[in-house]
Amino acid sequence: MSRKWERMVQKNTKITNKGRAKQGKPLVSEAVSDGTITIKGRNWLMPLLFVFVGIFCYVAFRNTYQDDNLYWITGGSYILLGLFTFLVRRPFIKIGKNFLSTRRFTGDKRVEPSQIQEIVISKDAVVISLQGKGGKWVFTRVYHRIDITEVSERLKEFAEQHSVTFKTE
């Protein structure tokens, strides 16, 4: 199926699901799946940094700016930003039938199998090397809090299916 056709099917499925939900019927999308697997982790370093900066704002400026409302808003905003990044903005790797997708600082990134140079699996990390200036995608057990065994199994299947170089260290 071409991508245009897939998008049209998804759009029509969305419209149909709205109508079926109003009628109390089961949704079409529950039965239809495109085979995409999303494995989510948990980012903890940036949220921890934001919370510490918020606490630092409260401690460092407590004697001078405590009466200002901005004092409380600034520290509270950093703490809320830390909670938001911890709970909502989770790192993930999405493995589709003909693509890999993940979230980077500049947004969601998607690569095709032809753009992947190699996939290296080690005990605590998964490294996906991209061709050209794409760099590397690294997922670690400690930093990303992601299940390396599940990711390695899925990526091994993906690599075999698309003849991408797969190494285990």
Model confidence over 100-121: pLDDT tens digits? 999 887 888 999 999 999 999 9
Q: For residue 22, is it within any domain?
A: no
- Residue 6: its pLDDT value, please? 82
Q: Which of 159, 161, 155 is nearest to 139 (CA)?
A: 155
Q: For residue 105, is it within any domain?
A: yes
- Residue 107: its pLDDT value, please? 83
Q: For residue 119, is it within any domain?
A: yes
Structure token digits, residue 127: 């490294």
Q: Which residue has the higher pLDDT, 130 or 70?
A: 130
Place of tokens 């996906």: 128
Kindly state whether residues 102 and 52 are assigned to the same domain: no
The total number of structural domains that make up the chain: 2
Q: For residue 3, is it within any domain?
A: no
CB atoms within 10 A of CB 49: 14
Q: What is the mean pLDDT of residues 20-26?
A: 76
Range of the domain at 50: 42-87
**Considering 87, 107, 123, which residue would you say is the last residue of a domain?**
87
Kindly state whether residues 83 and 98 are assigned to the same domain: no
1 pLDDT band (50/70/90 cuts)? low
Kindly state whether residues 105 and 159 are assigned to the same domain: yes
Kindly state whether residues 97 and 66 are assigned to the same domain: no
93 pLDDT band (50/70/90 cuts)? very high
Q: For residue 25, is it within any domain?
A: no
**Considering 87, 109, 140, which residue would you say is the last residue of a domain?**
87
CB atoms within 10 A of CB 155: 23
pTM attached to this predicted model: 0.71
CATH number at residue 116: 2.30.29.30
